Amino acid sequence: MEKESVIDMEYEFPKDFEWGVATASYQVEGAWQEDGKGESIWDRFSHIPGNIVDLTNGDRACDFYHRYREDVDLACSLGIQVYRLSVSWPRIFPNGRGEKNEKGIEFYRNVLNYIKEKRMKTSLTLYHWDLPQKLQDEGGWCNREIVEDFKNYAVTLFEAYGSLVDYWITLNEPYCSSFLGYWKGEHAPGYHDYSMALAAAHHLLMSHGTAVKAYRSMGLPGKIGITLNMNQPYPADIKNEEDQKAAERMRMQNNQLFGDPVMKGTYPQELFDFLKGQGVVLPDVREGDLELIHQPIDFLGLNNYFADIVKADDGAWPLRASLTTKGLPVTDAGWEVYPESMYDLLTWIQDTYQPPEIIITENGAACNDWINSDGRIEDTNRIDYLKRYLREVHRAVEDGVPVKGYYVWCFTDNFEWAWGLSRRFGIVYMDYETQKRTPKDSAFWYKQVVENNGL
Ligand code: FCB
């Protein structure tokens, strides 16, 4: 017994460490046309056959819009300390700007109040990818005027929920909104133009800055930050100089293009020079833009799932670098499991940016879960993944990286973007037909982690 508790305490986290779960509006809410909500780019995109691998969409998803109490109750019963959710912009402004939809405002107020009632903290993301389609019709993130629209939207939320939110997250993964949406075409709005992606990235970052600035001027309680998805890059062949350079380019594109302006007020010039040489049109960065982006933040949110194993690849325009998994084990999302990369990444972030605090706002694994005949979901692979990643987070904390919280992606299985309902990331199983929620073994395991404040 004694020995066991010694082992239990091996990975104890700091006393004020916070354990959470993460979700996002389009992925869980459903009710896509209810109570005055406008169309989002994800409604439009997912309704076009061919965009989502299993031909599903988020019209219903987990029906969180009607069942949020059930999910919040369940999270509470598992001892969760922070509940992360996002706001659907077209629920608040069906046209992106102009007339407000009071029913939409009321919905999130009810949800936030309910989370608070259950004694959990709230983490609210302003933008987790579901842009009002009306704004997309005007160019979306490629249109510089969107910065003003975002400010107006953000201030509306600050005014409405100022006393109910503990952690504000301006943007979730602007890399994905810009690069997957405008360059890879895998995400809404589905373009394939690298220069558009860069322009979108710049306006996303400006939107972040303008929201933080407005927030500061309002003197609200709570904290504000941004969530970036970063991956630690490794050359596919460690001895190959071209692979090493390619890995550095990948780092600049995926991590520094977003991290540098937010944390240092600069863009990675070396990357811009390289891209220019490839014929890319660089973003229109005007005087004052970088100052606007570079606002002091209270925490840096980090989403991380895998590492970038990079090889030099002349065919991959414009970066001349591509990704490989190099034989590492992968989850059912095809993402390689490389826990040590979490440690390397956290220490790199600390050395490069010294953020006041880091919150891991997403980490988790997709597994092909099923319900056993006895009703149990034995997701041992997910538990194994989470355990191994958490050990690396712990190692970084021990080495002085100020990680203050960790949120599992995701609370319930949900609509996983271009992968539809086919990828399950939840610690709670969703039967989409009946809408029944069943905690998986990982949920009970996570409950223990929270209770013990460690592994
Ligand atoms: C992240 C997204 C999140 C979810 C996970 C699996 O990139 O932020 O919405 O899809 O991946």
Q: What is the DSSP letter of 179?
A: I
pLDDT at 4: 47
3-state DSSP call for residue 124?
A: strand
Q: What is the pLDDT of residue 195?
A: 98
Q: Out of 1-15, 48-62, 173-187, 431-445, which region has the weakest mean confidence (pLDDT)?
A: 1-15
**DSSP labels, 70-101:** HHHHHHHHTT--EEEEE--HHHH-TTSSSS--
pLDDT at 2 over 70: no
Identify the pLDDT of residue 10. Answer: 86
* 341 Cα–ligand 1 center, Å: 18
Residue 256's contacts (CB-CB under 8 Å, 6 or more residues apart) are 268, 271
| Structure tokens belonging to residue 306 | 């895998």
CB of 306 closer than 6 angstroms to any ligand 1 atom: no
Q: Mutate which of 84, 126, 362 to test ligand 1's pocket (most atoms within 8 Å of Cβ)?
A: 362
Does the annotation mark 336 as catalytic? no
362 part of the active site: yes
As a whole number of Å, the end-to-end CA separation of the chain is 16
Which conformational region is residue 193 in: left (phi greater than 0), alpha (psi within -120 to 50 degrees), or beta?
A: beta
Give the per-residue pLDDT at 327.
86
Is residue 6 very low, low, confident or very high in pLDDT (cuts 50, 70, 90)?
A: very low
Decide whether any atom of ligand 1 lies within 6 Å of the 57 Cβ: no
pLDDT at residue 17 is higher than 60: yes
Whose CA is closest to 143, among 182, 175, 117, 114? 182
Q: What is the pLDDT of residue 9?
A: 56
Residue 1 has pLDDT above 70, yes or no: no
Q: What does the pLDDT look like over 257-316, one tens digit per residue?
A: 999 999 999 999 999 999 999 999 999 999 999 999 999 999 999 999 999 999 999 999
Per-residue pLDDT of 316-363, as tens digits, reads 999 999 999 888 899 999 999 999 999 999 999 999 999 999 999 999
Half-sphere exposure of 377 (CA within 13 A, CB side): 26
What DSSP letter does each residue of 333-369 carry, written as one string?
Answer: TS-B--THHHHHHHHHHHHHH--S-EEEEE-------
Q: Which of 18, 29, 173, 416 is catalytic?
A: 173
Task: Determine the average pLDDT of the residues in 440-444.
Answer: 98
- Tell me how far apart the alpha carbons of residues 87 and 99 are, in angstroms, rounded to a whole number: 17
Phi/psi of residue 305, each to 5°? -130, -35
Distance from the alpha carbon of residue 42 to the mean position of ligand 1, in angstroms: 14
Mean pLDDT (the chain, rounded): 97
Average of pLDDT values for 112-140? 99
Q: Got the DSSP string for 209-252?
A: HHHHHHHHHHT-SSEEEEEEE---EEESSTT-HHHHHHHHHHHI
The C-alpha atoms of residue 390 and residue 440 are separated, in whole angstroms, by 19
Q: Considering the chain, what percentage of its residues have pLDDT values greater than 70?
A: 98
Residue 367 has a pLDDT of 97
Model pLDDT for residues 350-396, shown as the tens digit of each residue:
999 999 999 999 999 999 999 999 999 999 999 999 999 999 999 99
Radius of gyration of the chain (CA): 21
User: From residue 233, how far is each of 180, 203, 247 by CA, in Å?
Assistant: 18, 26, 6
pLDDT of 7 above 60:
no
pLDDT at 3: 43
Contact between residue 439 and residue 428 where contact means Cβ atoms under 8 Å apart: yes
User: pLDDT > 90: what percent of the chain?
Assistant: 97
pLDDT score at 74: 98
Q: Which helix (H) or strand (E) holds 403?
A: strand 403-409
Any atom of ligand 1 within 6 Å of the Cβ of 416? yes
Q: Residue 310: which residues within 8 A CB-CB, separation 6 or more?
A: 233, 234, 235, 236, 243, 246, 247, 250, 321, 322, 323, 324
Q: How far is CA 198 from CA 17, 69, 178, 437, in A?
A: 36, 40, 7, 40
For residue 59, name the pLDDT band (cuts at 50, 70, 90): very high
Report if pTM > 0.75.
Answer: yes
Q: Ligand 1 pocket, 274 CB below 6 A? A: no
| Ligand 1 touching residue 83 (CB < 6 A) | no
Q: Tell me, in angstroms, the distance from the centre of ligand 1 to residue 321's CA.
A: 23
Q: List, for residues 188-201, the tens digit of each pLDDT value.
A: 999 999 999 999 99
Q: Quick check: 5 pLDDT over 50?
A: no
Long-range contacts, stretch 234-237, CB < 8 angstroms, 24+ apart: 234/307, 234/308, 234/309, 234/310, 234/341, 235/310, 235/311, 236/309, 236/310, 236/311, 236/324, 236/326, 237/311
Contact residues for 332 (Cβ-Cβ < 8 A; gap 6+) = 365, 366, 367, 368, 423, 424
Of the candidates 149, 123, 126, 124, which has an alpha carbon nearest to the alpha carbon of residue 136? 149
Asked whether 424 and 369 are in contact (CB, 8 A), the reply is yes
**pLDDT band at residue 141 under the 50/70/90 scheme:** very high
- CA 88, 55, 333, 191 dihedral sign is negative
Tokens of 454: 């460690």
pLDDT, one tens digit per residue, over 225-268 is: 999 999 999 999 999 999 999 999 999 999 999 999 999 999 99
The residue type at 231: N
Distance 7 CA to ligand 1 centre (A): 32
- For ligand 1, atom 4, which residue shows the shortest CA distance? 416
Collect all residues with Cβ–Cβ distance below 8 Å to 320 and sequence separation of at least 6: 246, 249, 278, 312, 313, 314
Taking alpha carbons only, the member of 438, 435, 436, 409 closest to residue 63 is 435
